[in-house]
């Protein structure tokens, strides 16, 4: 791999041992992948920092970077962890509270922003063809597909190394040749409430780089579709016709055309379209990925409206997962929701958290949550829309 004289100096430890170690990690991964050089990045999003996933080994790894004097060189945001940072949830166990706070403390002392969200574009919106080093598959695919930025799906250690050095390896979705579309999928006539299913279907059935035609121009539905596809497959870029900036992807000469119809995805996951859940212990889960301010406000208005008209008394749990900054932006609304009985978790990933109540069912609007809860936690999960989930939980 070609390194500039400055990069050679970092690698040789002239700027400190910890930067050499971080730099070495990026160079090694880049060399294994065959990257010709490194590139600088403007924004790093660190994932893989949940104590429930990385344990004491990961905590010590992060601590070492802090103790040896590591400091962020570029703007760096952080994914949610396995605790409710407001420590007020009845559902999310606080068994790892102190361990997660210790990890967060090291990251913040290294200059990482305490965002604790999987929608880092809320804090800083990527621009066309800008190079990033992001972890968190749902954020990566959103950055590439909606903003036309360039990032691979990075693992936790690599993102920390990129945060400290400001570099990543020049490979994968950073390159024009890896952003070539060879499959066009039409989803005409499929309502947006099925976009989680479409995403799951694409993730599991399409290996090439697709472009989706005839999608609704609705940011929330596309966010669900993209996150779902990134969960069930390893997609980092799915171009959306008329939405993904044209100059961020290229069309192949040979295009395979696919039509998805409702019957394809019904057959694929027909159970998700039926409900008979009365008398069960249910958790309704909205906010995977975290709700953005528009989505949160719509859901808040809807709940307050039906509650104040006496049309809803919450049965079981309604869990809403939002970025940590809503502690400042929406604290009044969050308090109102909590008084109604809604569980609002701040800076939490409920999927990697320990849930203290084992439900009979989870109903969610998220194909990504559906995928992980079913596959890794063996929970029966149904997909629906946010408003339908709320109605299901009212009595």
Point out which residues bind ligand F3S (CB under 6 A): 79-80, 118, 136, 138, 227, 288-290, 321, 349, 351, 368-369
Contact (CB, 8 A) for 20 and 12: yes
Q: Strands 361-364, 343-346: parallel, antiparallel or unpaired by DSSP?
A: unpaired
Min dist CB 138 to ligand F3S, Å, is 4
Min dist CB 300 to ligand F3S, Å, is 18
Comparing CB distances to ligand F3S, the nearer of 80 and 126 is: 80
SS3 132: strand
Comparing CB distances to ligand F3S, the nearer of 149 and 369 is: 369
Name the DSSP letter for residue 339: H
Comparing CB distances to ligand F3S, the nearer of 136 and 333 is: 136
Min dist CB 377 to ligand F3S, Å, is 12
Contact (CB, 8 A) for 85 and 346: yes
Comparing CB distances to ligand F3S, the nearer of 50 and 165 is: 50
Which residues are CB-contacts of 72 (< 8 A; sequence separation ≥ 6)? Answer: 44, 110, 111, 112, 163, 164
**Radius of gyration of the chain measured on its C-alpha atoms:** 21
Min dist CB 369 to ligand F3S, Å, is 6
Min dist CB 379 to ligand F3S, Å, is 14
Comparing CB distances to ligand F3S, the nearer of 136 and 292 is: 136
CA distances from 333 to 295, 300, 336, 389 (A): 13, 7, 5, 19
Min dist CB 137 to ligand F3S, Å, is 8
The Cα 316–Cα 342 span in angstroms is 10
Comparing CB distances to ligand F3S, the nearer of 58 and 70 is: 58
């Amino acid at each position: 791999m070609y390194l500039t004289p400055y990069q050679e100096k970092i690698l040789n430890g002239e700027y400190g041992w910890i930067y050499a170690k971080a730099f070495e990690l990026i160079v090694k991964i880049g060399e294994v992948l065959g990257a010709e050089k490194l590139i600088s990045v403007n924004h790093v999003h660190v994932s893989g920092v949940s104590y429930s996933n990385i344990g004491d080994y990961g905590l010590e790894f992060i601590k070492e970077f802090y103790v040896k004097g590591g400091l962020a060189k570029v703007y760096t945001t952080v994914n949610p962890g396995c605790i409710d940072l407001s420590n007020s949830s009845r559902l999310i166990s606080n068994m790892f509270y102190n361990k997660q706070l210790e990890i967060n403390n090291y990251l913040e002392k290294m200059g990482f922003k305490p965002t604790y969200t999987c929608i880092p574009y809320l804090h800083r919106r990527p621009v066309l063809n800008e190079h990033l080093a992001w972890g968190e598959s749902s954020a990566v695919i959103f950055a590439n597909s909606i903003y036309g930025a360039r990032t691979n799906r990075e693992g936790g250690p690599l993102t920390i190394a990129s945060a400290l050095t400001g570099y990543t390896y020049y490979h994968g979705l950073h390159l024009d040749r890896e952003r070539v579309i060879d499959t066009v999928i039409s989803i005409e006539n499929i309502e947006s409430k099925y976009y989680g299913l479409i995403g799951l279907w694409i993730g599991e059935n399409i290996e090439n780089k697709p472009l989706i035609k005839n999608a609704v121009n609705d940011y929330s539905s596309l966010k669900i579709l993209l996150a779902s596809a990134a969960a069930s497959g390893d997609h980092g870029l799915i171009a959306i016709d008329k939405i993904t900036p044209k100059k961020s992807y290229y069309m192949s000469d040979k295009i395979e055309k696919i039509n998805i119809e409702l019957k394809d995805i019904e057959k694929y996951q027909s159970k998700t379209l039926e409900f008979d859940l009365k008398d069960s212990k249910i958790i309704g889960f909205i906010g995977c990925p975290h709700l953005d301010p528009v989505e949160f406000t719509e859901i808040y208005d809807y709940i307050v409206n039906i509650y104040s008209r006496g049309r809803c008394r919450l049965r079981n749990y309604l869990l809403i997962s939002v970025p940590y900054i809503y502690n400042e932006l929406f604290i009044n609304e969050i308090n109102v929701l909590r008084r109604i009985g809604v569980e609002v978790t701040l800076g939490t990933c409920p999927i990697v958290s320990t849930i203290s109540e084992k439900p009979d069912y989870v109903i969610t609007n998220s194909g990504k949550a559906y995928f992980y809860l079913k596959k890794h936690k063996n929970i029966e999960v149904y997909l629906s829309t946010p408003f339908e989930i709320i109605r299901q939980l009212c009595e």
